[in-house]
Amino acid sequence: MSQSIGIVGAGITGLAIAYVLSPKYNVTIVARDLPGDLGLDWASPWAGAVFHPQKTPNKLWQQMQAACFRFYWALAHDDPSSGVKVYPMTEYFDTVYDESDIWYKSLMPDYRVIPTSELPPRTTFGIKYTTLAMNPLTLLPWLKAKLLAKGVKFIRKEVVSFDEVRTLTNAKLIVNASGVGARKLAGDDSVGPVRGQTMFVKTDFNRLVMKEGTEYTYIIPRAGSGGVIMGGIKSDRLDSEVDVELKRDILMRVNRITNGAFEGLDTSKIEDIVGFRPGRKGGLRVGREGDVVHAYGVEGAGYIYSFGVAEKVKELVGDYAARSKL
């Protein structure tokens, strides 16, 4: 009989973990929010959801990102109905001057450095490559349907302890993919929400453009939606009120890195999106603590790490299962 595993959280990380574990284990997901919900208290439906690798010297984090990219790359080619699509990416920096720290240059297809003469104002370095973007409003329900077909159970409930999850799922081992909820569930005071504000704009603009460093700006097409997500900002504010001045600032920055592609856009006639990313001081936590495997703290990079985190969780679950038989 398959071992039972309980997963807390049905965001992209929890769903990815369930997807990877379900062929071998009896999986139940317990979550307050489920795919199809559009509340602001969870991040996954509102993410820009583009695969742009995160700069990090941490080899494990690099490996998890690479594993995630390979999963999504295969999915984009095997099943376009998933909402995952291939796009050309232009990535600019204003605090990077060469490619010495670009660990993913051998991972991303069609990678090349942009000549300095072609860089827009206020940038110091740029690269191009082919990558992926996901439409969360398509992908999350797609994953839920696949998981239900694999026998994964979903329980809608906001839980206050891992013992409560064990009772609900009849599982001894719990995977904690609760995002911001880990602050209370895991007693991790380094966890907290990070506010993001973006705009959805109807357009036929069909490429990814990002800028990182002192300025964080992006344009991300959403497959099947007829538009793009524009951002961005990271803030400690906890309210959901739209900052009108910020909308104008985002548009100004977007035009600067797209050579004025959205000049004249009326920001009063676009769709505003405010969401809260699951941040953690110190970054991603993936590890086992007794009968709990923790997998949270990716902030805005859930779609970049999710299936790589899931593979690492699978290893930890397998080690636990092997030890419990001794």
Q: Give me the residues paired with residue 222 across strands.
A: 227
What is the DSSP secondary-structure string of 116-150? GGGPPTT-SEEEEEEEEEE-HHHHHHHHHHHHHHT
Is-contact 85 130, C-beta < 8 A?
A: no
Tell whether 277 is in a known binding site.
yes
Helix (H, G, I), strand (E, B) or coil at 176: strand
Per-residue CA distances from 326 to 161, 321, 323 (Å): 28, 9, 5
Q: Give me the residues paired with residue 129 across strands.
A: 89
3 sits in the region (left: phi over 0; alpha: psi -120 to 50; else beta) called beta
Q: How many CA atoms lie within 13 A of 7 on its CB side?
A: 33
Q: Which amino acid is at 275?
A: G
> Which residues neighbour 38 within 8 Å (Cβ) at sequence distance 6 or greater?
45
Tell whether 300 is in a known binding site.
yes
> Which residues neighbour 124 within 8 Å (Cβ) at sequence distance 6 or greater?
93, 94, 95, 96, 97, 213
- Joined tokens for residue 71: 């999963």
Tell whether 159 is in a known binding site.
yes
The widest CA-to-CA distance across the chain, in whole angstroms, is 68
Beta-carbon count within 10 A of 172 CB: 13
Which segments are annotated as binding site for D-dopa? 218, 277, 300
Which segments are annotated as binding site? 159, 218, 277, 300
Which segments are annotated as binding site for FAD? 159
